[in-house]
Amino acid sequence: MLAKEKTSEKARPAQKVTRAAPKRAAISPSTATVTPRSRSLDPAMFAAIVEHGPRGFEAVQRIREGIPAKILKSVSGFFGETEARIQHIVRVPATTASRLEKAAARIDSAATERVYRMGAVTRLAMEVFEDKENAIAWMRQPNLTLGNATPLELMDTEPGAASVRQVLNAIATGGVA
């Protein structure tokens, strides 16, 4: 009997260990912070660009100068997205973003322009939806009219941003995108 007990213990299938899926960040409207990813993702810097972003020649000057690399964390916090995703959209490699942030340096003009583009289109979305949270949600969701891409993903190029503006204008006027 003892031999049978030992073989039956070995024959038992191993129990499957399940892990909970990682939690997505949620933006808390009352505190304007992101949880649980990182407490350092303060969306205020990017929110200032969205709400009061410079226009005209002032924008050109700021884009040429570049903005501090910590803006990437701010954009991440604003949208509740991972830093890696924002870095991909803005076209700043993670290693470069880390190095620039540690040195308190600025991102280049091309990346700065992408950040300002995100801000301007997000401002338009907030005007169309008349609500910040709905605008952010819309920017993060795949859109059939945009080839099932999210509006946020298309902020890496001006033609992509123009397509997003076209859809937003169609929503605003009740037309077809």
Domain membership of residue 159 (yes or no) is yes
Domain membership of residue 100 (yes or no) is yes
Give 96-143 pLDDT, tens digit per residue.
Answer: 999 999 999 999 999 999 999 999 999 999 999 999 999 999 999 999
Token pair in block for residue 11: 């024959």
Q: How confident is the model at residue 32 (pLDDT cuts 50, 70, 90)?
A: very low
Domain membership of residue 85 (yes or no) is yes
Domain membership of residue 43 (yes or no) is yes
Domain membership of residue 119 (yes or no) is yes
According to the model, what pLDDT value does residue 97 have? 97
CA distance 82 to 153: 13
> Which domain covers residue 126, as residue numbers?
37-173
Domain membership of residue 42 (yes or no) is yes
User: Which stretches within the chain are classed as H helix?
Assistant: 2-11, 44-52, 56-65, 71-79, 83-90, 94-102, 109-129, 132-140, 158-173
Number of domains in the chain: 1
What is the pTM assigned to this prediction? 0.74
CA distance 102 to 42: 16
Rg (CA), the chain: 22
**Helix 71-79 vs helix 94-102: crossing angle, to nearest 10:** 120
- The type of residue at 174 is G
Domain membership of residue 99 (yes or no) is yes
